[in-house]
Chain A
Amino acid sequence: GQQVMQIPQYQHVQEGEDFTTYCNSSTTLSNIQWYKQRPGGHPVFLIQLVKSGEVKKQKRLTFQFGEAKKNSSLHITATQTTDVGTYFCAGQRPGTSYDKVIFGPGTSLSVIP
């Protein structure tokens, strides 16, 4: 079946350092979504990418969708303690329901003040 993988599983950074998490799918995706889950919290939608090679920015966060639509990345510039949490990517396979996205295992980010 379709697999969505993320690396790294854990990342510890000093506050002010940059952070990147990578999402890779075993199959081409229609779109990819990114969610953030704070410790003890619930997933919160961040963004959706649809087009091949698409790049979107939200303040210090930059999201990219690969040319082949099989991978994506989330880059955070100059991390802050408020960035702490687990970042999940979730992908939809072409021909499947929009609802049935497959979540990756997440990258847990710790920021050391």
Chain B
Amino acid sequence: EPEVTQTPSHQVTQMGQEVILRCVPISNHLYFYWYRQILGQKVEFLVSFYNNEISEKSEIFDDQFSVERPDGSNFTLKIRSTKLEDSAMYFCASRYKFMNTEAFFGQGTRLTVV
């Protein structure tokens, strides 16, 4: 069964450092997402991406965040200068087409900022 893959599974970084979280969405999917889940809390939408541009973003997705699809397969989330409160599980998700109901989530990257 096709799946969304994320690397690394766990990233530890020092406050102020840049991190890049990587995702490989399902190959024929067109819509890509990043979500965040602080430990024990709810899943929060960060950003959606379609046709090589951001289609929606939340209040959390400020200037410190950026996304990129550098080639035909990878989808990345960059945090320029990490803060302690950025520590969370970051999930990538993809969907085949708009209004297709099912978003497939990756296993997540646990980001720990120290």
CA distance A90 to B46 in the complex (A): 14
A window 19-62: CB within 8 A of B: 33, 35, 37, 41-45, 48
Residues of B within 8 A of A41 (CB): 107
Identity of the chain B residue whose Cβ is nearest the Cβ of A44 in the assembled complex: B105
Given known pairs A33-B101, A43-B105, A48-B101, the reply for A103 and B42 (CB within 8 Å) is: yes
Residues of B within 8 A of A100 (CB): 45, 48, 56, 58
Residues of B within 8 A of A37 (CB): 43
CA distance A90 to B41 in the complex (A): 14
Q: Mark A98-113, 1 if CB is under 8 A from B, else 0.
A: 1111111110000000
CA distance A106 to B108 in the complex (A): 18
Q: Are B101 and A105 in contact (CB under 8 A)?
A: no
Given known pairs A48-B101, A99-B48, the reply for A43 and B58 (CB within 8 Å) is: no
Q: Are B102 and A105 in contact (CB under 8 A)?
A: no
Range, interface on chain A: 20 to 34
Residues of A within 8 A of B108 (CB): 42
| Minimum C-beta distance from A41 to chain B (A) | 7
Given known pairs A42-B91, A44-B105, A97-B56, the reply for A103 and B44 (CB within 8 Å) is: yes
CA distance A101 to B35 in the complex (A): 11
The answer to whether the Cβ of A88 comes within 8 Å of any Cβ in the partner chain is yes
Residues of A within 8 A of B (CB): 33, 35, 37, 41-45, 48, 88, 90, 97-106
Residues of B within 8 A of A (CB): 31, 33, 35, 41-45, 48, 55-56, 58, 91, 98-99, 101-108
- Can you give 25 A-B contacts (C-beta < 8 A)? A41-B107, A42-B106, A42-B107, A43-B105, A44-B105, A45-B102, A45-B103, A48-B101, A90-B43, A97-B55, A98-B98, A98-B99, A99-B33, A99-B48, A99-B56, A100-B45, A100-B48, A100-B56, A101-B45, A102-B45, A103-B43, A103-B44, A104-B42, A105-B42, A106-B42
